[in-house]
Structure 1
Amino acid sequence: MANVIRRQTPLARLGRGALYATLILAALFYLLPLVVMLLTSIKPLEEIRAGSLLALPLAPTLEPWAKAWGEACTGMRCEGIGGYFWNSFAIVIPAVLISTLVGALNGYALTQWRFRGSELLFALMLFGCFIPFQVVLLPMAQTLGWLGLASSRAGLILVHVVFGIAFTTLFFRNFYVAVPRELVAAAKLDGAGFFRIFWRILLPVSAPIIVVSVIWQFTQIWNDFLFGVAFSGHDTQPVTVALNNLVNTSTGVKEYNVDMAAAMIAALPTLVVYVLAGKYFVRGLTAGSVKG
């Protein structure tokens, strides 16, 4: 048996080496656009016109980054994306917190406090995950107008909360299914009510799925363009809309380095979130997959 294992070891090592080589090549290919964007963003325009995309900068500069962040309006060209960058944070943070909290309450109620019609309600909320965003643009615009929230940050927050609840409810419902019902039943016998059980028992064990919900919602809302361009005003636009305006306007000379720097700035928060919390995202997705 030992001889067989020894004879198979070189093949196993060869297979593992081929697997690692394939993964490294795939990672390099996937990261190539990011490398091109980064190199272009620190090159002067003269080098961009004269060199290749992958050429290292001869005279690296951060001027394109400063210009992308805070350039003033000149002619038809829009200002930098700095102010709109903070607009996105002002929209994302409350929308993520509210949709995560409401989704947790919904998931808790649908699994631990079942009521007549709960399965139908969950099916309808699940159906909301598959509704194309374009279908609801007009009725949502009318609703925001009736509420007096048109072209405001509060209106955009409401839109993202409404569409995020379906996803967060799905996440938390699937997670709470794995929580033993006997735990909640024992708390009920001790006199604990709906919210006390939620805050003292369910929420403390929900850290993995909370991370999933926060990462998912943060990424979806930060990268959203459709709702941002449809429901925001000039002063309330998210960074994705400002980036589109910056890239698609010019005064005659196309500044590719400024455009790439602006794109890197706009993508930076989601990159940071995934680098720091990506492994927790995978753990959270699988945390409630096996009951018990």
Structure 2
Amino acid sequence: MAQRTWGFWINRGIIHALLISAALFYLLPLVVMLLTSFKTMDDIRAGNLISFPAEFVIEPWIKAWSSACTGVKCEGVGSYFFNSVQIVVPAVLISTALGAINGYVLTKWRFRGSELFFGLLLFGCFIPFQVVLLPMAQTLGWLGIANTTTGLVLVHVAYGVAFTTLFFRNFYVNIPSELVKAAQLDGAGFFKIFWRILLPISGPIIVVTIIWQTTQIWNDFLFGVVYGSGETQPITVALNNLVNTSTGVKEYNVHMAAAIIAGLPTLLVYVLAGKYFVRGLTAGSVKG
């Protein structure tokens, strides 16, 4: 028994050591970025990547937010940060709502050709971004919303609704249809059944969809650089412009601060709601 106990603790210690080593390895770039963002340029030139700052300074953060050059303008990434917020919030809400309705229809109100419709919609998940660039640009031009945040919202909704539909459809397919049929016998209609029966139990998949869409849209660069222009571009494009500005000295502390600002929202989303993402993906996967 003692030998088995010692073996158990040794194996447990090895597993934990490996997990901690892997975590430290993956966190190392973030640590380097964070330390560099609080250093002066002289400190960066004199020290090494993982050394602590000789003097902690917040000027790089202030400059990254309000006065760093992102091309011809030197106004920082602050305004672009709020551009991303204006794009992400409505795009996530609209695509999540459409995905919920689509998943509800495709599982509880099936119609002739619904499986074909779902297959074609699912095909949208596998279309490369580059394929839709020209057609979408022409569509935005026809609608008169090219180079606007509204246009970027429409692009992300159109591209994301296939994923949100897939998530909700796979969740709702495991909910007994008898609940819907019983509500229909009681006189409940389409939307009343959705609001009173399905939506209250959709919390896990709603969390999954919001996390997925938020990270995908916030981190997007291609659509932002193609369909955004000037003051309507998201923060990912502004970060690229800041890092690639060819005038003056490369201020690595400012670049690192701007990169952390750009990545902070998605980092917080995963830190605060990561466990709900895993739970939501597995919720409803097994019929009870």
TM bracket (short chain): over 0.9
Determine the structure 1 residue equivalent to 2:101. 105
Q: Unpaired segments of 5 or more residues in structure 2?
A: none
**Quick one: which amino acid aligns to residue 83 of structure 2?**
N
d(CA) in 1 for partners of 2:177, 2:150 = 38
d(CA) in 2 for partners of 1:77, 1:129 = 37
Are 1:278 and 2:274 an aligned pair? yes
The 1:192–1:268 alpha-carbon spacing in structure 2 relative to 1, beyond 3 Å, is same
1:75 and 1:251 in contact (8 A); partners too: no
Aligned to 1:179, the other structure's residue is in SS state coil
Determine the structure 1 residue equivalent to 2:63. 67
d(CA) in 2 for partners of 1:289, 1:12 = 32
d(CA) in 1 for partners of 2:3, 2:182 = 57
Determine the structure 1 residue equivalent to 2:169. 173
d(CA) in 2 for partners of 1:76, 1:191 = 63
Q: 1:26 aligns with which of 22, 25, 39?
A: 22
Determine the structure 1 residue equivalent to 2:248. 252
d(CA) in 1 for partners of 2:173, 2:204 = 14
Structure 1 position 7, deviation (Å)? 3.3
Q: Give TM-score, length-normalised by structure 2.
A: 0.98
Determine the structure 2 residue equivalent to 1:216. 212
The 1:97–1:74 alpha-carbon spacing in structure 2 relative to 1, beyond 3 Å, is closer
d(CA) in 2 for partners of 1:15, 1:115 = 55
Aligned to 1:57, the other structure's residue is in SS state coil
d(CA) in 1 for partners of 2:102, 2:196 = 16
1:126 and 1:167 in contact (8 A); partners too: yes
2:68 and 2:242 in contact (8 A); partners too: no
Structure 1 position 262, deviation (Å)? 0.2
The 1:241–1:74 alpha-carbon spacing in structure 2 relative to 1, beyond 3 Å, is closer
The 1:74–1:16 alpha-carbon spacing in structure 2 relative to 1, beyond 3 Å, is closer
Structure 1 position 291, deviation (Å)? 1.5
Determine the structure 2 residue equivalent to 1:263. 259
Give the paired residue count: 288
Are 1:206 and 2:206 an aligned pair? no
Are 1:39 and 2:28 an aligned pair? no
Determine the structure 2 residue equivalent to 1:53. 49
d(CA) in 2 for partners of 1:269, 1:137 = 27
d(CA) in 1 for partners of 2:72, 2:189 = 60
d(CA) in 1 for partners of 2:142, 2:264 = 36
Determine the structure 2 residue equivalent to 1:95. 91
Deviations 1:139-175 (A, max 9, x none): 1000000111100111000000001100000000000
**Quick one: which amino acid aligns to residue 161 of structure 1?**
V
Q: 2:81 aligns with which of 72, 79, 85?
A: 85
> Percent sequence identity over matched residues?
73
**Quick one: which amino acid aligns to residue 22 of structure 2?**
A
Determine the structure 2 residue equivalent to 1:230. 226
Are 1:124 and 2:120 an aligned pair? yes
Write out the 4+ residue segments of structure 1 that deviate beyond 4 Å after TM superposition: 72-78
d(CA) in 1 for partners of 2:110, 2:73 = 56
CA RMSD of superposed structures (Å) = 1.3
Deviations 1:79-121 (A, max 9, x none): 3100000000000000000000000000000001111111111
2:70 and 2:76 in contact (8 A); partners too: no
The 1:251–1:10 alpha-carbon spacing in structure 2 relative to 1, beyond 3 Å, is same
d(CA) in 2 for partners of 1:123, 1:42 = 50
1:177 and 1:291 in contact (8 A); partners too: no
Determine the structure 1 residue equivalent to 2:132. 136
1:100 and 1:213 in contact (8 A); partners too: yes
The 1:122–1:74 alpha-carbon spacing in structure 2 relative to 1, beyond 3 Å, is closer
d(CA) in 2 for partners of 1:88, 1:160 = 12
Structure 1 position 251, deviation (Å)? 2.4
d(CA) in 2 for partners of 1:39, 1:273 = 22
**Quick one: which amino acid aligns to residue 35 of structure 1?**
V
Q: Give TM-score, length-normalised by structure 1.
A: 0.96
